[in-house]
Amino acid sequence: MATNSRNPETVVLHAGYRSDPATTAVAVPIYQTTSFQFNSPEHAANLFALKELGNIYTRIMNPTTAVLEERVAQLEGGVAALALASGQAASMFAVQNIAQAGDNLVSSTDLYGGTWNLFANTMKQMGIECRFVDPSDPENFRRATDARTRCYYAETLPNPKLNVFPIAEVAKIGRELGVPLIMDNTAAPILCRPLDHGAAIVMHSTTKWIGGHGTSIGGIVVDGGNFDWEKHAARFPLLNQPDPSYHGAVWTQAVKPLGPIAYIIKMRVTLLRDIGAPMAPFNAFLFIQGLETLPLRLRQHCSNAVRVAEYLSKHPKVARVIFPGLMTGEAKRRADAALKGGYGALVGAELKGGRDAGRAFIANLKMFYHVANIGDARSLAIHPATTTHSQLTPDEQKQTGVTDGYVRLSIGIEHPDDIIADLDQALASV
């Protein structure tokens, strides 16, 4: 049988799967098929009517992807999950599942640029307003809330500032007002379980640490099963009023016998059905491979990051190191409240030589890869002011924590001495 363990090392290997029912294969097989044959016309009708859950068509579900979904759901302490083609699709679906034209969400300003664009521009075109607030004061979320607010949204460990989000504080405000908190936990898998701190929904770009090898784009949304959508029926008509696209199903009622999974089932059978963006079974297989060693890799990522942060903080050409473990005051308190077992793999450094030093440093790295990605097993680096954040005005750059000399490092799992040696020689040349 699959495991009931809470320990991540066991969950990533055993949750949701023991062996393949068709072949007894121990490794999760790749079910590279579009469709699944029905046993009978009655079976087919039952599946479509959600009287029975089962495989119909890979746009909506697939047995390989289902194992990844169960594992990540159990890892996060949630009740069910939905894997998608990318982290961007996961962010979009997480909000769109409960918000429509005329509604709004309140989001932290400390966001991945792609999510910022999605909320500020694409969702705006769909009539959903995003109200961005400074997370340093959790009460900003309350102040921005009104009757049409459908969710709060934030990242556990947002870069480049690396200020850990006050999950428990904002989740508490949301629960008082009937607003669920959606957390992007991409940069802190295992280190943080946002659902334990009161969040209602968690998403990941599995592209990053879960995949861990820089091979595939993917995303996942986890339903915490801990938010009372019925109690706040006026705020969530999409879950509490008859859905004309599904014979008038009321999602909070229709799937009650299956557990508190109204949110994620509705996402699967309406948004995924209509918009598409499923995760490909082959990518799900690669993410399962990545997930199996995630706890082990993460320990090395985190201990290497500490070594790098300490090394950089003593370097004469570095003005400031941005790393949760080296923060003080409220920022450190928040990091320690949310993260257990490490401070993540991201390290920021502001070079005294400004823009020219930042660019020269990146150009001179020999082992680090110069890429826009994070969360690879290899060490990665980028100079945000001239790349990821170059379209922002200098003022906007400052607000997002990007200064001219800022370099972002995603620390890999190489031997720490080799990581430091590469940084050392690159810094010597600026």
d(C-alpha 211, C-alpha 208), whole Å: 6
Element (H, E) at 38: none
Least distance in Å: CB of 218 to ligand PLP? 6
Question: 47 vs 374, which CB is nearer to ligand PLP?
Answer: 374
Choice from 65, 86, 97, 388 touching ligand PLP (CB under 6 A): 86
114 lines the binding site for ligand PLP (CB under 6 A): yes
Closest distance to ligand PLP from the beta carbon of 205 (Å)? 3
Among residues 155, 243, 292, 350, the one that binds ligand PLP under rule CB under 6 A: 155
Pairing of strands 346-351, 201-205: unpaired
Binding to ligand PLP in span 345-374, by CB under 6 A: 374
Of the candidate spans 58-66, 84-92, 95-103, 227-235, the one that interacts with ligand PLP by CB under 6 A turns out to be: 84-92
Reduced to 3 states, what is the DSSP secondary structure of residue 346? strand
Instruction: Pick the closer one to ligand PLP by CB: 182 or 249.
Output: 182
In whole angstroms, the minimum distance from the beta carbon of 354 to ligand PLP comes to 25
Question: Is residue 115 at the binding interface for ligand PLP, with CB under 6 A as the rule?
Answer: yes
Beta carbon nearer to ligand PLP, 186 or 400 = 186
Q: How far is the CB of 71 from ligand PLP (least distance, A)?
A: 18
Residue 77 or residue 114: which is nearer to ligand PLP going by CB?
A: 114
Which residue lies nearest ligand PLP, judged by its C-beta?
Answer: 87
Q: Which two tokens stand for residue 214?
A: 């820089």
240 binds ligand PLP per the rule CB under 6 A: no
Q: Residue 66: which of 54, 78, 76, 75 has the closest Cα?
A: 54
Contacting ligand PLP (CB under 6 A), which of 58, 64, 74, 88? 88
In this structure, the strands spanning 129-133 and 104-108 are parallel
Q: Report the nearest approach of ligand PLP to the CB of residue 217 (Å).
A: 5
Q: Which run of H or E residues covers position 336?
A: helix 329-338
The least distance separating ligand PLP from the CB of residue 207, rounded to whole angstroms, comes to: 4
Q: 161: which 2 tokens?
A: 């500032």
Q: Is 243 in the site for ligand PLP (CB under 6 A)?
A: no
- Asked if 300 is part of the footprint of ligand PLP (rule: CB under 6 A), the reply reads no
Enumerate residues 382-401 that contact ligand PLP by CB under 6 A: none
Provide the minimum distance between the beta carbon of 260 and ligand PLP in the complex, in angstroms, as a whole number: 25
Q: Quick one: 174 or 219, whose CB is closer to ligand PLP?
A: 219
Asked if 112 interacts with ligand PLP (CB under 6 A), we say: yes
Query: How many residues are given for the chain?
Result: 430
Cβ-based nearer residue to ligand PLP, 8 or 211: 211
Q: Per CB under 6 A, which of residues 171..200 are in contact with ligand PLP?
A: 184, 186-187
Quick check: 378 and 412 in contact, CB under 8 A? Answer: yes
Strand order in the sheet with 181-184: 80-84, 219-223, 201-205, 181-184, 149-155, 104-108, 129-133
Binding-site member from 180, 219, 325, 344 for ligand PLP (CB under 6 A): 219
416 in contact with ligand PLP (CB under 6 A): no
Query: Mutual orientation of helices 281-292 and 63-76 as an angle, nearest 10°?
Result: 40
- Which DSSP string do the residues of 40-73 spell out, in sequence order? SHHHHHHHHTTSS----BTTT--HHHHHHHHHHH
Q: Tell me if 108 contacts ligand PLP by CB under 6 A.
A: no
Alpha carbon 412 to its chain's center: 19
Sign of CA dihedral 269, 273, 275, 277: positive
Q: Which is nearer to ligand PLP, 258 or 372 (CB)?
A: 372
Minimum CB–partner distance for residue 149 and ligand PLP (Å): 22
- In single-letter form, the type of residue at position 393 comes to T
Contact call for residue 216 and ligand PLP (CB under 6 A): no
Q: Are 141 and 175 in contact (CB under 8 A)?
A: no
DSSP states of 104-173 as a string?
A: EEEEES---HHHHHIIIIIHHHTT-EEEEE-TTSTHHHHHT--TTEEEEEEESS-TTT-----HHHHHHH
DSSP character at residue 384: G
Residues of this chain that interact with ligand PLP (CB under 6 A) are 86-88, 112, 114-115, 155, 184, 186-187, 205, 207, 217, 219, 374
